[in-house]
């Protein structure tokens, strides 16, 4: 999710006050019940963004207890990724889980909002996509800390506006290994 942009001059000022003092220890957040029953999570990419396979590879470049597998086949995937165009909303990416009648997770939908992401630099778009894929690993949002799962793309102590993060950090990777 994104927060509204705040003037970068303010963000820089705040960063100058805090980056060497309050940002220290992080701890991943796990979303209860969002873990798939398999550790090979099949992803169907219909975003049309070149950054999507790159973001998948960013995660897969680490040896973790779960990984993504891209497929081109429109069936039997765990995560379906699509591009949407919603100009009226504030978010740039969203992940929705689907549970069966027994409460077991069986699918997720990741929406990448072109209304916002289409205006982003490529590395920011890649950051949004990699972040949403982190939700696919059952990682929850964190705020104000320098991790990929920082839920704020822009704003105070944000993932892109402040920290410039677009790949999984040690804390993000530890979260995946804790979930799987
Ligand atoms: Zn998020």
- The domain that holds 62 is classified in CATH as 3.40.390.10
pLDDT at 26: 67
pLDDT at 135: 98
pLDDT in tens, the chain (180 residues): 555 544 444 444 444 444 344 444 568 999 999 999 999 999 999 999 999 999 999 999 999 999 999 998 888 899 999 999 999 998 999 999 999 999 999 999 999 999 999 999 999 999 999 999 999 999 999 999 999 999 999 999 999 999 999 999 999 999 999 999
Using only C-alpha atoms, the chain has a radius of gyration, in whole angstroms, of 16
Q: How many A from CA of 159 to the centre of ligand 1?
A: 11
Q: What range defines the domain where residue 48 resides? A: 8-179
Q: How many domains does the chain have?
A: 1
Residue 97 covered by a domain:
yes
d(CA 126, CA 98): 24
Residue 165 covered by a domain:
yes
pLDDT at 22: 44
Residue 152 covered by a domain:
yes
Q: How many A from CA of 2 to the centre of ligand 1?
A: 8
pLDDT at 10: 43
Exposed e or buried b per residue across 136-168, where buried means at least 16 C-beta atoms within 10 angstroms of its C-beta: bbbbebbbbbbbbbbbbbbbbbbbbbbbebbbb
Q: How many A from CA of 14 to the centre of ligand 1?
A: 22
Residue 2 covered by a domain:
no
Q: How many A from CA of 116 to the centre of ligand 1?
A: 15
Residue 54's H or E segment, with its range, is helix 51-60
pLDDT at 62: 98
Residue 1 covered by a domain:
no
Residue 3 covered by a domain:
no
Q: What residues pair up with 109 in beta bridges, in sequence order?
A: 80, 96
Among 120, 113, 126, 111, smallest CA distance to 45 is for 111
Sequence-separated (6 or more) residues with CB below 8 Å from residue 45:
52, 53, 56, 70, 81
pLDDT at 144: 94
pLDDT at 155: 96
Contact (CB, 8 A) for 31 and 180: no
Contact (CB, 8 A) for 4 and 155: yes
Q: How many A from CA of 151 to the centre of ligand 1?
A: 4
């Amino acid at each position: 999710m994104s927060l509204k942009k705040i003037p970068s001059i303010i963000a820089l000022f705040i960063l100058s006050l805090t980056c060497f003092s309050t940002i220290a220890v992080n701890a991943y957040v796990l979303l209860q019940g969002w873990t798939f029953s398999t550790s090979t999570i099949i992803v169907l990419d219909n975003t049309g963004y070149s950054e999507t396979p790159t973001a998948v590879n960013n995660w897969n470049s680490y040896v973790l207890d779960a990984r993504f597998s891209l497929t081109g086949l429109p069936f039997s995937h765990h995560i379906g990724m699509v591009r949407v165009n919603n100009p009226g909303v504030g978010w740039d990416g969203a992940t929705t889980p689907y549970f069966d009648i027994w409460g077991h997770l069986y699918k997720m939908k990741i929406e990448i909002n072109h209304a916002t992401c289409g205006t982003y630099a490529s590395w920011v778009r890649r950051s949004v996509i990699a972040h949403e894929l982190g939700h696919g690993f059952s990682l929850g949002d964190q705020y104000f800390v320098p991790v990929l799962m920082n839920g704020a793309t822009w704003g105070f102590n944000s993932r892109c506006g402040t920290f410039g993060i677009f790949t999984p950090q040690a804390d993000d990777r530890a979260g995946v290994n804790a979930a799987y």
